[in-house]
Amino acid sequence: MANHLELLNELQQLDKVPSLERLRAAQKRRTQQLKRWAVYEKEMQNKKRKAEKRRNANHATAMEAKRHVSFAASVALLEASARNDPEEVRYLLKNNVSPDLCNEDGLTALHQCCIDNYEEMVKIMLNRGASVNAKDNELWTPLHAAATCGHAGLVKVLIQHGADLLAVNSDGNMPYDLCEDDPTLDIIETAMANRGITQEMINETRASVERRMMGDIQELLTEGEDVNHHDSQGTTLLHIAAANGYVQAAELLLEGGARMDLRDTDGWQPLHAAACWGQIHVAELLVSHGASLNAKTFLEETPIDLCEDEEFRAILLDLKHKHDIIMKSQLKHKTSLCRRTSSAGSRGYVLTSTGQRGNCMQTITFSPLSPTTVVLFNTNIGSRMALLKSSVTFNQVIGCHLFNKSVRQMSALLELPQSTVSVVIVKWKHLEATTAQLRSGRPHKLTERDC
């Protein structure tokens, strides 16, 4: 394109030429200008495309960096252990990765290697300071895992590094309880003998967890705390005692006011937990205190439905059968009493008197159909003795559940065996009269006599 001076000279020359020549010169210059502009536009587009390409390349590089996946140290260690990769495990441990890192289930790399029988890996981690007695969420130690799988070589290694032979998992089992391989079991029992472990020590260890729980419960009761408090899963202390078969802890909770109808987030009551985990003694205790064998979970399951042991299921079915007979008999008796007392105005009369002692009000209903029949609704021991001196014969005695008396006092009052009184109290509890104090101690089994 011409510069400024050339254009000035050209204009001076064009002044001397005709108009037609000037028009042609202008068109020529315009054509040159458009060509120059097209070239410039093309160059700018090329520059723009190159800049865009560079930006895309940088963005792709950044995205590649973002796509880089990194795993937590615990995941990396567990994965390398599961692959039986000693070099990777050594590298991770050398870079200060803890050998006791675990996943969400509490499983450590040592647990995993004991399951897979990787003896070299176990030695590497133990030499790097891994805890030989690490526990997962169900309190299983590596020795539990090795004993269950029958890995005799690993059992020897773990015992040499001081594994706890009396470790108890959440099911109440020690490593030797779970071992079905005779050579492995012989190794464990020999080690127990060498350490001087006796049956008394075994029993003491098994009972220690329940004793600690009872101590915690007693502390709660002393401080007046609520024993029905539940955790985020809706689990109460009675649920825990029932699932683990802690009979004495369950008794202490029931005496302290623990409720048997509370449900966890799955709709389980304590009796469901006892039935599922085969805790027969706790189940009998709960049933004797009025727990319902007909209670259903959110999935419409009764305690009997959750029971997998056939012998235990038969016992629960027998308890349910006897309980249904008791309730049916009690309901029939109560209906009969209500019918008799409601007709006192038309077929008899009501006598109200005040005793000489204690100013206790008593109401006696006489029926013309049976002159010697008396129904005592509200009385105490003094008025009871006074009425015994009369010539009236007692047919039925009701209302004793309203007395806040012990079983022994009630037994003496009613002149009945204590076991029968306990059954009577259970009946009244199902009729929502709960003021009676139940007999403490282990539950008695229902017999045909009680029905």
In terms of domains, do 328 and 446 share one? yes
295 and 329 both lie in a single domain? no
Asked, for residue 30, whether it belongs to a domain, the answer is no
Same domain, residue pair 446 and 327: yes
Which structural domain range is residue 432 located in?
Answer: 323-450
Inter-residue long-range contacts of 163-167, CB under 8 Å, 24+ positions, other chains counted: 163/132, 163/133, 164/133, 165/191, 165/192, 165/195, 165/197, 166/197, 166/201, 166/202, 166/205, 167/133, 167/135, 167/139, 167/141, 167/143
Q: What is the C-alpha to C-alpha distance for residues 238 and 271, in angstroms, rounded to an integer?
A: 9
How far apart (Å, rounded) are the C-alpha atoms in residues 61 and 347? Answer: 102
Residues 277 and 390 in one domain: no
Max CA distance (Å), the chain: 162
Q: Are residues 347 and 431 located together in one domain of the fold?
A: yes
Q: What's the alpha-carbon Rg for the chain, to the nearest Å?
A: 44
Is 216 contained in some domain?
Answer: no
Give pLDDT tens digits along the chain (451 positions): 456 677 677 777 777 778 787 788 778 877 888 888 888 888 888 888 888 888 887 777 766 655 656 667 778 888 888 888 999 999 888 888 899 988 888 889 999 999 989 999 999 999 999 999 999 988 899 999 999 999 999 999 999 999 999 999 887 889 999 898 999 999 999 999 999 999 999 988 988 888 999 999 999 999 999 999 998 889 999 999 999 889 999 999 999 999 999 999 999 999 999 999 889 899 999 998 989 899 999 999 999 999 888 888 898 888 888 877 877 776 766 665 555 544 444 333 333 334 433 333 333 333 333 333 333 333 333 443 343 333 333 333 334 444 455 545 555 555 544 444 334 444 444 444 433 333 333 333 333 334 3
Residue at 184 is within a domain: yes
Domain membership flag for residue 48 = no
Final residue of a domain: which of 286, 316, 346?
Answer: 316
| Same domain (yes/no): 161, 278 | no
Q: For the whole model, what pTM was predicted?
A: 0.53
Q: Is residue 303 part of a domain?
A: yes
Residue 271 sits in a domain whose CATH number is 1.25.40.20
Domain boundary residue, one of 179, 197, 215:
197
Based on the structure, what is the number of domains in the chain? 3
From the list 448, 404, 403, the residue with the least C-alpha distance to 423 is: 448
Please give the angle made by the CA atoms of 162, 166 and 167, to the nearest 5 degrees.
85
Q: Establish if 202 belongs to a structural domain.
A: no
φ and ψ at 269, to 5 degrees?
Answer: -95, 165
The answer as to whether 270 is a domain residue is: yes
Among residues 262, 269, 219, the alpha carbon closest in space to that of 243 is found at 269
Answer yes or no: is 24 within a domain: no
